[in-house]
Each structure stands twice: as structure tokens, then as C-alpha cells.
Amino acid sequence: MADVVAPNLVAAVSELRQWERLMEMAKLGAIPGDGVNRACLTPLDRQARRMFIAWGEALGLTASVDRLGNLFLRHEGSEAGLAPVLTGSHMDSQPKGGRFDGIYGVIAGLEAVQALREAGVATRRPIEVVAWTNEEGGRFAPGCMGSMAYAGFAPPGTWDAIEDTQAVRFGDALAEHLAEEADIARRPLGVVEGPAPHAYVEAHIEQGPILEGRDLDIGVVTGIQGSRWFSVEIHGRSDHAGTTPVSMRQDAMQDAIRAITALNALMRDPSDVLRFTVARMEVFPNSSNSVADLVRFSIDFRHPDRAVVLARGNAIEGVIQSALLHCTAVVHERFTAMPTQFQPLVPDAVERAARAQGLASLRMPSGAFHDAQFMVPLCPTGMIFVPCRDGISHNPAEYSAPDQLAAGTRVLAQVLAELANS
Ligand code: HGY
Ligand code: MN
Ligand code: MN
């Protein structure tokens, strides 16, 4: 495909329209510091989805939802029956999230399709803008449930029994969500019940400091590092804090500390490539003067090297069990995503489009996981990163400028035009 930019297509991408839509979305779940707390399968999530659908239907796009709640806005191509090109991301946020993680890729997909239609750029193939269910895993762990089910990576009922902090089951929250959206057309669940997409491209903020630090406009994402999530329960016995000798205790808190200390040793990496995070902890009975009888904590472990992801990840349970003095532990693996490399087709198209538009780009892997990684076995896949201020994300201070976001969307529009005519 020539490097020629369809000048009217690039010009049709509206920086202002896109920014205004992002700011409208940011009002839904706004928290202090310009942040957003919009968990999946909530009334706020449905409000945001209705707004997205309204913007799409105003363009003539058609909305549909699959049994995991993945939401699609479809732009028809000139040749019916061809597999669609898919673009999009997620609309759910972290509890103390920002205004751009996920939602930028959904709004960018809409903006790119609107620009294609306004510029009169015909596409042989349909283009579908998707909002994946529960990418973040903040309310219901793990993340990427919608894209994993769509890709046949796990059966759709896999996560039904998982509860949020209010003891609401994912399966019940999903059933309620689908009932609230009963008026939206249903569609088969991804490749489980239908054909594979022709290609997938996701625009996303980098969520790291590299692009900004090197004054670059576009990240040509080459792949995504591996991630493994575990839930750990340390079971002890509740006792009186004042009368029970320490030697007689089965203190779940003390053994949890021993386990996490031992995991820190397992995960030590002087090169600072490995990512090991314990960020969620629940203590029961959670009373100052009762020895804890149950501690639950999360593990998020990531690395770009498959051998490390396997070796260190497989050692986690044994290290925990060996660290305990008086309690027992139950360890479950909740999420297993091996490192993925995108085949060259989409990254090459992204790099070509950036160059044609005079944008400085860099090929780079993603430290964050994304729904894109589950599209890799289905079709040519790629991502487009835009810089974010100080590399901050999963934080209300997350920020990308209107022109930076628009540059990503202009590259997306050109890549979609190319893929939808291939
Ligand atoms: O955790 C992640 O990597 C993604 O931002 N949800
Ligand atoms: Mn994201
Ligand atoms: Mn995120």
C-alpha cells in the first residue's frame, strides 16, 4: 500500500470532537483530581455505553452486544459478507483511574470511522468498533474477560462465580447488565459462535514514560509482555490479642507477611524488568484486638520472557507454602497470559502511516496487558500508542493532550482504511 496519506481522511479526524467526547465520558464516574471510577457492568458503565451507542447510531452505525456484554458499533463495507476489521478497547476504568486508559481507544475507533465516512473513503470490509467487557479486572478479577471469551481463550461461564467486594457474582452482574440492554441487538460470541475478524487494531495511551521522554508521537507496539495473576488465602485462627501467647498463635497476618517477603526474594530482579505487585489485601476479622484468621491478597506478576513467566510463576505456590510457620495457604491462578508478539502486518501498517503523516514513531513492546493480546491467535493484530504525561496511568493524573490523541487517531484512521480495503 502506498505511503500516500488520504489527505481528506487525515483532515476529517477532528481533534476537538474527539476531545469533547472524551471529556463527556470523563464526567461519568468523575472523581477528584480529574480521575474516573467507572467499573464494568454498573449503571455508570451502561450510561457510558448508551452515550457511545448514541454517537455511533447518529452516524448510521449499528449497535450489537454479545453474551459477555462486548459492545460493537458496525460500519458496513461495500462487499457484504467479508470479515470485519475490528478496532476499539475498553470503557471500564480502575477504581482510581484516569480519563484515557481504554476509553481513548473506543472513542478513537469511533472518530476514525466517522472521519472515513465524512471523507467518503470507501471500505470493502465492514469496520467494527468494540468496547470489551471488564478489561481492567478492578471489580471482578481477572481482567480481559470479554476478549478472552470472544477469542475462545476460556468458556463464557468461566468467571460467573467470581465476586466483587459487595459479594455480587460476575454472572449475576452480567445477567442484569444484559437484561438492561435487552433492546440492543444480540450477536454471536466472537470466534466461538462466529467468524474471525480480518484484523484488529487498538489505540491506547502508552501508560509509560518512553514516548514522552524521547519526544515521540506514536508507539508502534510490537507485542505485550506476559502476565500472571494469583489469589492467595492464608488461613489461621482468630484469638485474643491480649491473652494468647504468640507461640500458640496461627496468625494469618504474620504468615502473609512471611509469604510476601519470600515472594519478594523470588521476584528480585536487579535489571528491574520483572514486575511483581501485591496491591489488594483483605484481613479478617479485621479487628485490632483479634488475631487475624484469614488474609487474602493478590499477586500480579509480569515479564516479557516466556521462560521467566513460567519459571518464576510456577514457583509462587511452593515459595508461599514454604514461608508459612503456623497457617495454611490456598493459592489459585486467576489469569495466565503468555508474552505475545504481533505479526508484522499491522505494526508495519502503523509505522507506514505514522511516517506518511510526518509523525515520529518507535517500535516498542507493551508493559500493560490489553485485549489485543487475545486477538493475536485470531488475526493480524496491532496497537498504536500515544504519549501520556510523565508516563502516569491508573491514576487520576493520567493525561494525554488533544493533539497527541488526535495524531494517534489519524494513524488509526489510515491503518483502518488500508486493512478494510485489503
Ligand atoms: O493492568 C493492565 O496492564 C491494564 O492496564 N489493565
Ligand atoms: Mn487499558
Ligand atoms: Mn488499565
pLDDT in tens, 52-69: 999 999 999 999 999 999
Average pLDDT of the segment spanning 98-118: 98
Mutate which of 136, 144, 204, 340 for ligand 1? The one with the most ligand atoms within 8 Å of its CB, which is 136
143 CB within 6 A, ligand 1: yes
Neighbours of ion ligand 3 (CB under 5 A): 101
Q: Specify the pLDDT at position 214.
A: 98
What distance in Å separates the CA atoms of residue 112 and residue 351, rounded to the nearest whole number? Answer: 17
Q: Specify the pLDDT at position 3.
A: 46
Question: What's the pLDDT tens digit per position in 156-187?
Answer: 999 999 999 999 999 999 999 999 999 999 99
What separation in Å is there between the alpha carbon of 229 and the centre of ligand 3? 15
Please report the DSSP string for 382-420 in residue order: EEEEE--GGG--SSTT----HHHHHHHHHHHHHHHHHHH
Q: How confident is the model at residue 80 (pLDDT cuts 50, 70, 90)?
A: confident
Q: Which atom of ligand 1 is nearest to the CA of 393?
A: 5
Q: Specify the pLDDT at position 298.
A: 98
> 71-75 and 127-132 as β-strands: parallel, antiparallel, unpaired?
antiparallel
CATH fold match for the domains 7-225+340-420 and 226-337: no
pLDDT higher than threshold 50 for residue 407: yes
What separation in Å is there between the alpha carbon of 188 and the centre of ligand 3? 27
Q: Specify the pLDDT at position 7.
A: 72
Nearest CA to ligand 1 atom 3: 368
What separation in Å is there between the alpha carbon of 254 and the centre of ligand 2? 34
Angle at alpha carbon of residue 337, lines to 199 and 384, rounded to 5°: 40
Per CATH, the homologous superfamily of domain 7-225+340-420 is: Zn peptidases (3.40.630.10)
Average pLDDT of the segment spanning 288-302: 98
What distance in Å separates the CA atoms of residue 53 and residue 85, rounded to the nearest whole number? Answer: 19
159 CB within 6 A, ligand 1: no
Domains of the chain, residue spans = 7-225+340-420, 226-337
CA atoms within 13 A on the CB side of 355: 12
What separation in Å is there between the alpha carbon of 191 and the centre of ligand 2? 22
Q: Which atom of ligand 1 is nearest to the CA of 143?
A: 6
Q: Specify the pLDDT at position 5.
A: 54
Q: Specify the pLDDT at position 104.
A: 99
What separation in Å is there between the alpha carbon of 416 and the centre of ligand 3? 24
109 CB within 6 A, ligand 1: no
**Backbone dihedral region for residue 19 (phi beyond 0: left; psi -120 to 50: alpha; all else: beta):** alpha
Average pLDDT of the segment spanning 374-387: 98
One-letter amino acid for residue 241 of the chain: A
Ligand nearest to the CA of residue 143, numbered in listed order: 1
Average pLDDT of the segment spanning 403-422: 97
Nearest to 364 by CA among 226, 227, 224, 222: 222
pLDDT higher than threshold 80 for residue 380: yes
Length of the chain (residues): 422
Q: Specify the pLDDT at position 339.
A: 98
0.75 exceeded by pTM: yes
pLDDT higher than threshold 70 for residue 265: yes
pLDDT higher than threshold 70 for residue 2: no
One-letter amino acid for residue 34 of the chain: D
Q: Which atom of ligand 1 is nearest to the CA of 137?
A: 6
Q: Which atom of ligand 1 is nearest to the CA of 300?
A: 1
Domain 226-337 has CATH 2.30.130.60: no
Question: What's the pLDDT tens digit per position in 220-231?
Answer: 999 999 999 999
C-alpha cell read off for 85: 476489521
Coil, helix or strand for 365? strand
Q: Residues of the chain with pLDDT > 90: what percent? A: 98
